[in-house]
Homo-oligomer: A and B are copies of this chain.
């Protein structure tokens, strides 16, 4: 082959020795391979390196300089492929959206299982990349990346196939996503603080106990809740909590699907309009 595109040595060799003392620039010390036929830095490369950095070191560890270093590139070289750090993060977010399988819309009767599968998929993705939690909070559900769109489209189709009219399918997707993102982000935040402490989830919880017990003060319900959590496997408790809420959300959606649909929604009382204080 004529291309040596994965050359292990840094591309620009010894940087720049000011002006003098450089060891005779010969053909051999010169960097090889053109820049044109293999630009050495690509958007995908940058995005995947950023993802790596985020997953291993967390959100605040991602800096353009560190990212550049990891790619044997200068700090500002990224800006020819990505216009801003925020844009880069949006790209990375869509990248991880790609991990979530798109549900199949066949079998209308199986909508519930399919929706549950997507929900769990979204959750595991968030837990695998906990830095998503604050980022999603700043980005919202309305994503324009191709992978996010594929997923939305699939969910939309799923609820359409289950019998909802198109407007309501949108509402249903948002409801489900909001729940999953809300719950999973909270878990991710918890896991992040635990991880930062270097302790296990259980150790951290028990270390927190004295503080919590005092803070819980005169609140009997909270106290009961905390004590009952004390001797449970935290991870199992989280799994169960997520599953419970998911069942409730799906139950709520089911009232609009399995019943004679096309009703005026209703079901509740005046939930819709009463503003809270």
On A, residues with C-beta under 8 Å from B are 99-101, 112-113, 116-124, 133-142, 144, 146, 149-150, 152-153, 156-157, 160, 166-172, 174-175, 177-183, 185-190, 192-193, 211-212, 215-217, 219-222, 224-225, 228, 240-241, 243-253, 255-256, 265, 267-277
**CB atoms of B249 and A121 under 8 A apart:** no
- How many Å lie between the Cα of A268 and that of B252 in the bound state? 11
Tell me the dominant secondary structure on chain A's binding face: helix
A179 CB contact (under 8 Å) in B179, B225, B250: B179
**CB atoms of B178 and A186 under 8 A apart:** yes
Given contacts A116-B274, A134-B134, A251-B268, contact A186 B141 (CB under 8 A): yes
A144 CB contact (under 8 Å) in B117, B146, B211: B211
A166 CB contact (under 8 Å) in B157, B215, B228: B228
Given contacts A153-B222, A244-B175, contact A140 B185 (CB under 8 A): yes
